Amino acid sequence: MDENKSLITIFFNQVFLTFGLAIIAISIVGWSVGDVTKGTVSLLSLGCEGLSYKSLLQVFIFSFFEGIITLIFNPNLFIKKMMLLWRIVLVFAASLVLAIVCSILFHWFPTGNFLAWIGFIASTTVGFMIGLIYALIKIRLENKKYNELLTNYKKNQKGDDEK
């Protein structure tokens, strides 16, 4: 039961983290160029006025499926033996496919506009890179913490052996 509760907690933490960050990013874009894209980008249908309930729900749906992707590639849950680089590449690829599917299904921007797709893929890549940098910094800090704990443990063991 505790394992399932933990899985649910991990999942919804990821969903709401993704949702929150996406809303912040969309809000910044909407605030800066919302009136210019008002008639062409459905996410920014209200222009600089804010996000519609419809857009919020669409972003939540995206975040929900992004949470599933994150769970699938979580090294402690399902795919346990995969090199970190491949895990990152596959998460990025799956996330990009999800974003493309959502963009088409929800008409987030004109699908026939080549420049819109370039901008979309570029912004998705930048967003992913920011997340990747965060994850790598977090991993380094955790590794440093665990190495310090291991060093202290070894010192304590060595001291106990000498007694």
Q: CB 31: neighbour CB atoms within 10 A?
A: 14
45 and 12 Cβ atoms separated by less than 8 Å? no
One-letter amino acid at 162 equals E
Q: Scanning the structure block, which residue is given the tokens 């459905």?
A: 42
The 10s digit of each residue's pLDDT in 54-78 is 889 999 999 999 999 988 887 766 6
Residues 96 and 124 sit within 8 Å (Cβ to Cβ): yes
What does the pLDDT look like over 110-128, one tens digit per residue? 778 888 788 878 877 887 7
- Structure tokens, 138: 């977090």
Among 45-49, 52-56, 157-161, which stretch is predicted with the lowest mean pLDDT? 157-161
Secondary structure class of 82 (helix, strand, coil): coil
Local structure of residue 109 (DSSP, 8 states): S
Within 8 A by CB and 6+ apart from 105, the residues are none
Phi, psi of 28 (to 5 degrees): -65, -45
46 and 103 Cβ atoms separated by less than 8 Å:
no
pLDDT in tens, 92-102: 889 889 988 99
